């Protein structure tokens, strides 16, 4: 959808609800591009595989966390790998099967007449066919089940007509925009079984909590909440105009305190704050990082932050609601985050 059409229709679209399945405005899904695509099984049912392995195992060993596919999962994986046979302009770069969802990376190598949406639709239809063959679910039975569920809803709620068969309606896509992003995408896919194993092994650190009372603010949080009760907490707030010598001195002071058990607290907004929190992170020191975007219940910390949360040395907090769109952080938001950091450190 182009920007002009989007603006014309927005006034009639009602309230904008958070969704990871919304297409990017002003992006042509027919053009040459690389996409990370995610599809979720309807109802999050673990139909595609079983997690096996141990978080303590070394990578590239048989015991490292991995997914053992069900017959349906194996069929879904096969369908994904055959996408280029039906769409010669599309290459499969990676695929990761999970118990209740799949991730895949597709490279649209040339202008695609049918667009990415039709490619995904064809894949889902092929998977539905395998679902019926292997599980024995008839379309009529599914329709009857959904109608029964709708009839049981309170009268004031609209009927839900948005169920899929095997996968939920729609899909999530992430568009590759920067150099190096492809390798990040591939690592994310490969790490998925390990991340799931860590979530199950350390649920207290990797489950998003909503409405956590932090100094009178209702926050979403993930990580080690006990860091909030540390005896000594130090705010990291650095002016953008700080002299390099003073910055280095402040960094050493804060890192030395953290090595002695103090917890550093910061939204890490200014370059100086980012430098200090980066150094603390690299040393594995305890930190509370405040975010300008709230955490969705299905959110997971990414990359290094995931491991830091799992190890109990990081807490991510946000006093703001979750949004899917990116916005430039405002002065008011910066002030609110810095004020919350001060309250946390002073025990307000």
187 lies in the same domain as 314: no
- Is residue 141 in a domain? yes
Per-position pLDDT tens, the chain of length 348 = 444 554 455 554 455 444 444 545 568 999 999 999 999 999 999 999 999 999 899 999 999 999 999 999 999 999 999 999 999 999 999 999 999 999 999 999 999 999 999 999 999 999 999 999 998 765 544 445 544 544 544 444 443 445 679 999 999 999 998 888 899 899 999 999 999 999 899 898 999 999 999 999 999 999 999 999 999 999 999 999 999 999 999 999 999 999 999 999 999 999 999 999 999 999 999 999 999 999 998 778 888 899 999 999 999 999 999 988 788 999 999 999 999 999 999 975
CA dihedral 72, 77, 79, 83 (to 10 degrees): 160
124 lies in the same domain as 258: no
CA-angle at 135, arms to 130 and 137, nearest 5°: 90
**Region label for 289, one of left (φ > 0), alpha (ψ between -120 and 50) or beta (otherwise):** beta
108 lies in the same domain as 24: yes
136 lies in the same domain as 181: yes
Contacts of 296 (CB under 8 A, 6+ apart): 18, 208, 322
208 lies in the same domain as 264: yes
Write down which residue in 181, 201, 221 finishes a domain.
201
For residue 149, the model assigns a pLDDT of 47
48 lies in the same domain as 153: yes
222 lies in the same domain as 337: yes
- Is residue 7 in a domain? no
User: Strands 66-69, 49-52: parallel, antiparallel or unpaired by DSSP?
Assistant: antiparallel
**Region label for 347, one of left (φ > 0), alpha (ψ between -120 and 50) or beta (otherwise):** left
- Is residue 232 in a domain? yes
Asked whether the beta carbons of 86 and 62 are under 8 A apart, the reply is no
CB atoms within 10 A of CB 244: 8
Contacts of 228 (CB under 8 A, 6+ apart): 214, 288, 315, 344
Number of domains in the chain: 2
CATH number at residue 54: 3.30.70.1290
Write down which residue in 173, 201, 229 finishes a domain.
201
For residue 68, the model assigns a pLDDT of 98
Q: Which residues constitute the domain of residue 69?
A: 15-201
143 lies in the same domain as 230: no
120 lies in the same domain as 89: yes
Separate counts of helices (H) and strands (E) for the chain: 11, 12
For residue 297, the model assigns a pLDDT of 86
For residue 163, the model assigns a pLDDT of 65
- Is residue 180 in a domain? yes
CATH number at residue 286: 3.40.50.450
For residue 27, the model assigns a pLDDT of 83
- Is residue 173 in a domain? yes
- Is residue 317 in a domain? yes
- Is residue 258 in a domain? yes
For residue 157, the model assigns a pLDDT of 41
Q: What are 322's two structure tokens?
A: 């979750």
278 lies in the same domain as 130: no
194 lies in the same domain as 48: yes
- Is residue 8 in a domain? no
- Spatial separation of the C-alpha atoms in residues 186 and 93, rounded to whole Å: 9
Write down which residue in 201, 222, 247 finishes a domain.
201
85 lies in the same domain as 159: yes
- Spatial separation of the C-alpha atoms in residues 10 and 20, rounded to whole Å: 18
């Amino acid at each position: 959808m182009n920007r002009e059409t989007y603006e014309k229709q927005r006034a009639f679209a009602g309230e904008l609800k958070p969704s990871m399945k919304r297409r990017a405005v002003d992006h042509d899904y027919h053009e040459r591009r690389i996409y990370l695509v995610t599809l979720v099984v309807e109802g999050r049912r673990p139909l595609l595989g079983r997690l096996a392995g141990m978080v303590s195992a070394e990578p590239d060993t048989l015991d490292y966390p991995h997914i053992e596919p069900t017959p349906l999962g194996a069929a879904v994986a096969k369908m994904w790998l055959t996408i280029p046979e039906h769409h010669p302009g599309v290459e499969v770069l990676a695929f990761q099967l999970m118990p209740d969802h799949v991730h895949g990376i597709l490279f649209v190598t040339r202008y695609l007449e049918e667009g990415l949406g039709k490619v995904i639709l064809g894949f889902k239809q092929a998977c539905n066919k395998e679902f019926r063959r292997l599980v024995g679910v008839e379309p009529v039975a599914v329709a009857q089940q959904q109608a029964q569920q709708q009839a049981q809803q309170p009268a004031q709620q609209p009927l839900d007509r948005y169920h899929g068969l095997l996968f939920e309606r729609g899909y999530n896509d992430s568009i590759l925009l920067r150099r190096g992003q492809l390798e990040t995408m591939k690592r994310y896919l490969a790490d998925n079984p390990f991340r799931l194993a860590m979530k199950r092994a350390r649920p207290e650190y990797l489950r998003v909590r909503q409405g956590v009372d932090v100094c009178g603010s209702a926050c979403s949080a993930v990580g080690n909440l006990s860091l909030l009760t540390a005896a000594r907490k130090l705010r990291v707030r650095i002016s953008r105009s700080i002299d390099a010598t003073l910055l280095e001195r402040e960094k050493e002071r804060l890192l030395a305190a953290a090595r002695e058990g103090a917890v550093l607290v910061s939204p890490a907004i200014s370059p100086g704050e980012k430098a200090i929190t980066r150094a603390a992170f690299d040393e594995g020191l305890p930190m509370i990082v405040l975010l300008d975007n709230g955490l969705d219940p299905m959110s997971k910390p990414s990359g290094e932050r995931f491991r830091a949360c799992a190890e109990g040395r990081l807490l991510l907090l946000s006093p703001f609601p979750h949004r899917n769109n990116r916005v430039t952080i405002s002065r008011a938001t910066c002030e609110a985050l810095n004020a919350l950091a001060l309250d946390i450190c002073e025990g307000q």
